[in-house]
């Protein structure tokens, strides 16, 4: 009964198409593939229904959830791309039953459906890997151990496997046969993916040795890089320099070439301040008994740092004042080394070195504090009877045109204008 109904329906549809002016051949094709067209339209309708559910219902559920992983899956279009498989799966299941009189057409349609499914699966895997990376970046460990390089390796493997499957479908051979043939092309593949392989190995070594992580300040003069690392990828490491320019370093170059990582600023307790100033040795002298009173009258709190019952020079008192000054600065790390020491005297005076650690590794606040501190040093040196050493160069006077005959060199009293 069903076959009779189908035959009657096919004959009526063919008569209708013939009445519209179609040829007998094309009318026959339209009748034979009418079921396929109906299934295709149903598949498209089902896809749009699924897309509506994803964009409306599923999106609301995701926003209400506490976890963030589903938000990243939605943002990377994992669910939307999975919905693209619905029309292909419906056609794949019903293709044999809908078109029975054209086996060659079924074969090519089946091939097109399989290629479409393979392509969509590649997109789904890539979207899922992107979501995994976003989810991982929510954790604090992501800065110390980034996985972007591993994600990129996963994408390369996905594209390679997907490409092999697509080629095997087009060639009509099994993927194993193609993989066997790739063995002879291993040398070519190594050459093509040389940078990726070197970057992958370098990324593992950098991660295992904790040599570099996102947020580190590094200096690599060979690549004109001096700034903060903000991206570690499979092949390149991106550094934002102090002038906001971006330097791209090959990942494997951080293994083969030398670079400086300033992360130890944090480990050592902040940014180190190590700078000296020169004191004129002719102004160093022993302090008198009333020296402390003179300092007190100038506004110095000598009761807290001025040594008693000890023979000192004015430079020794000044060194103790500077140490007291730094110990009362909240921006100085009091648990790290702090000292004011004398260096080897030179012909340019006696160097006095300040050695301390600034709490924050930020460059600009550190330089501001260091500049203010040394300005304070030069301002208070005279209060202690000291002077900073400065070499005074001989300035040549302006030579005016001679209006009188020059003095003979034989004259004993002759003096050159330069003298």
Given CA atoms 40, 45, 47, 48 in this order, what sign does their dihedral have?
Answer: positive
Q: Per residue in 364-376, pLDDT tens?
A: 888 999 999 999 9
Q: What is the Cα–Cα distance from 49 to 30, expressed in whole angstroms? A: 27
Sign of CA dihedral 133, 137, 140, 146: positive
CA distances from 284 to 224, 309, 324 (A): 46, 19, 20
Residue 134 maps to a domain: yes
Same domain, 185 and 329: no
pLDDT given for residue 46 in this prediction = 84
- Count of structural domains, the chain: 3
- Tokens describing residue 5: 């109904």
Do 230 and 365 fall into the same domain?
Answer: no
**Does a structural domain hold residue 336?**
yes
Q: Do 42 and 167 belong together in one domain?
A: yes
The DSSP output letter for 56 is I
> In which domain, by residue range, is 238 found?
210-263
Q: Is the distance from CB of 145 to CB of 207 less than 8 angstroms?
A: yes
Whether 137 maps to a domain, the answer reads yes
Residue 40 has pLDDT above 60, yes or no: yes
Residues 198 and 216 in one domain: no
- Band (243; pLDDT cuts 50, 70, 90): confident
Residue 218, domain CATH: 2.30.30.60
How many C-beta atoms lie closer than 10 Å to residue 356's C-beta? 27
Which CA distances in Å does 355 have to 112, 118, 217, 321? 73, 65, 22, 14
Residues 155 and 192 in one domain: yes
Q: Distances from the Cα of 34 to the Cαs of 16, 26, 92, 166, 231, in angstroms?
A: 13, 12, 16, 29, 54
Mean pLDDT of all residues belonging to the chain:
78
Whether 197 has a pLDDT exceeding 80, the answer reads no
The CB density around residue 225, as the number of other CB atoms within 10 Å, is 21
Q: Tell me the C-alpha distance between 117 and 86, whole Å.
A: 10
| 31 and 174 in a common domain | yes
- Which tops the pLDDT comparison, 331 or 177? 331
Count the Cβ atoms, other than its own, within 10 Å of residue 269.
19
pLDDT of residue 368: 93
The residues pairing with 279 across neighbouring beta strands, listed in sequence order, are: 350, 388
DSSP 77-99: THHHHHHTHHHHHHHHHHHHHH-
Predicted pLDDT of residue 403: 47
Check residue 353 and give its pLDDT. 96
Q: pLDDT tens digits for 246-295?
A: 888 888 788 778 788 877 665 555 688 899 999 999 999 998 888 888 99
- Two tokens, residue 315: 């430079």
The pair of structure tokens assigned to 204 is 């593992």
- Residue 1: the pLDDT is 41
d(CA 213, CA 145): 7
Hey, is 376 helix, strand or coil? helix
pLDDT of residue 313: 92
Inside any domain, residue 402:
no
Domain for residue 404, yes or no? no
For 189-204, what is the mean pLDDT?
Answer: 71
Same domain, 252 and 284: no
Residue 124 lies in a domain: yes
Among the ranges given (35-39, 181-185, 220-224, 325-329), the one the predictor scored with the smallest mean pLDDT: 181-185
The answer to whether residue 23 sits within a structural domain is yes
pTM greater than 0.85: no
Question: What is the average per-residue pLDDT within 23-37?
Answer: 64
Calculate the alpha carbon distances from 170 to 103, 174, 272 in Å: 18, 10, 65
Higher pLDDT, 80 or 141: 80
Do 121 and 157 belong to one domain?
yes
- CATH number, domain of 327, equals 3.30.70.100
Per-residue pLDDT for 144 more than 80? no
């Amino acid at each position: 009964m069903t076959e009779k109904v189908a035959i009657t329906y096919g004959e009526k549809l063919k008569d209708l198409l013939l009445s519209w002016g179609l040829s007998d051949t094309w009318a026959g094709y339209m009748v034979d593939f009418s079921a396929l067209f109906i299934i295709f339209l149903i598949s498209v309708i089902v896809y749009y229904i699924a897309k509506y559910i994803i964009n409306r219902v599923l999106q609301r559920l995701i926003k209400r959830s506490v976890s963030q992983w589903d938000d990243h899956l939605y943002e990377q279009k994992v669910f939307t791309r999975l919905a693209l498989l619905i029309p292909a799966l419906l056609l794949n299941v019903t293709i044999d039953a809908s078109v029975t009189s054209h086996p060659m057409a079924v074969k090519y349609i089946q091939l097109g459906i399989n290629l479409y499914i393979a392509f969509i699966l590649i997109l789904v895997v890539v979207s899922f890997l992107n979501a995994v990376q976003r989810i991982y970046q929510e954790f604090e460990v992501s800065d110390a151990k980034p996985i972007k390089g591993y994600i990129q390796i996963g994408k390369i493997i996905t594209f390679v496997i997907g490409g092999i499957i697509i080629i095997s479908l087009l060639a009509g051979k099994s993927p194993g046969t193609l993989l066997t043939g790739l063995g002879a092309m291993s040398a070519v593949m190594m050459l093509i993916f040389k940078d990726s392989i070197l970057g992958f190995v370098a990324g593992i070594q950098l991660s295992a040795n904790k040599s570099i992580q996102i947020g580190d300040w590094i200096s690599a003069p060979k690549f004109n890089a001096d700034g903060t690392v903000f991206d570690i990828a499979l092949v390149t490491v991106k550094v934002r320099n102090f002038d906001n320019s971006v330097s791209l370093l090959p990942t494997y170059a951080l293994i083969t070439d030398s670079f400086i990582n300033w992360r130890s600023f944090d480990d050592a307790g902040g940014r180190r301040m190590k700078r000296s100033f020169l004191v004129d040795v002719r102004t160093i002298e022993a302090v008198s008994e009333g020296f402390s009173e003179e300092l007190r009258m100038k506004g110095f709190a000598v009761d807290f740092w001025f040594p008693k019952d000890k023979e000192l020079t004015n430079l020794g008192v000044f060194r103790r004042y500077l140490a007291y000054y730094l110990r009362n600065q909240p921006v100085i790390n009091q648990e790290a080394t702090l000292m004011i020491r004398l260096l080897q005297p030179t012909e340019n005076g006696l160097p006095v070195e300040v050695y301390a650690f600034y709490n924050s590794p930020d460059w600009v606040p550190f330089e501001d504090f260091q500049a203010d501190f040394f300005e304070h040093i030069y301002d208070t040196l005279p209060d202690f009877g000291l002077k900073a050493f400065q070499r005074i160069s001989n300035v040549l006077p302006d030579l005016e045109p001679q209006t009188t005959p020059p003095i003979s060199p034989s004259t004993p009293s002759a003096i050159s204008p330069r003298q």
